[in-house]
């Protein structure tokens, strides 16, 4: 059983602030995905990271895969209300998801 722990569970910030959320495990993953889910909708894939140490950028979102491929982080620069949602990470090995970080960005 590969558990994915996401932190923090909840995060509420003002528009324009920066933030980082984390996805940690004791297991090694061949790849890891990040999804964003808005209320009443299904999760939408943001990115897949594959190589240890890899950094991927998606506009104001920066994703990093740990060197040992056991953890990942998502950094958002200058957060906007449109970034509000539930951010989920998923390990490739057994299709398990973390419990998510619920982000609220206030105008």
Partner 1 sequence: NAGVTQTPKFRVLKTGQSMTLLCAQDMNHEYMYWYRQDPGMGLRLIHYSVGEGTTAKGEVPDGYNVSRLKKQNFLLGLESAAPSQTSVYFCASSYRGGTSGASYEQYFGPGTRLTVT
| Interaction residues for partner 1, span 58-87 (CB under 8 A) | none
Q: Is 15 in the site for partner 1 (CB under 8 A)?
A: no
Q: Which of 17, 18, 26, 50 binds partner 1 (CB under 8 A)?
A: 50
DSSP letter, residue 9: S
Q: Is 99 in the site for partner 1 (CB under 8 A)?
A: yes
- N-term to C-term CA, the chain: 40
> Which distant-in-sequence residues (6+ apart) come within 8 Å of 93 by Cβ?
2, 27, 29, 30
Interface residues with partner 1 (CB under 8 A) are 9, 30-31, 33, 35, 40-45, 48, 50, 88, 90, 92, 95-100
């Amino acid at each position: 059983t590969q558990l994915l722990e996401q932190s923090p569970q909840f995060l509420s910030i003002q528009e324009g602030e920066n933030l980082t959320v984390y996805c940690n495990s004791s297991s090694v993953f061949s790849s890891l995905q990040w999804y964003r889910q808005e209320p009443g909708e299904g999760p939408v894939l943001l990115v897949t990271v594959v190589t240890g140490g890899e950094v991927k950028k998606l506009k104001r979102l920066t994703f990093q895969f740990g060197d040992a491929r056991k953890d990942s982080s998502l950094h958002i620069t200058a957060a906007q209300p449109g970034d509000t949602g539930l951010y989920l990470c998923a390990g490739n090995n057994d299709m398990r998801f973390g419990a998510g970080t619920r982000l609220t960005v206030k105008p």
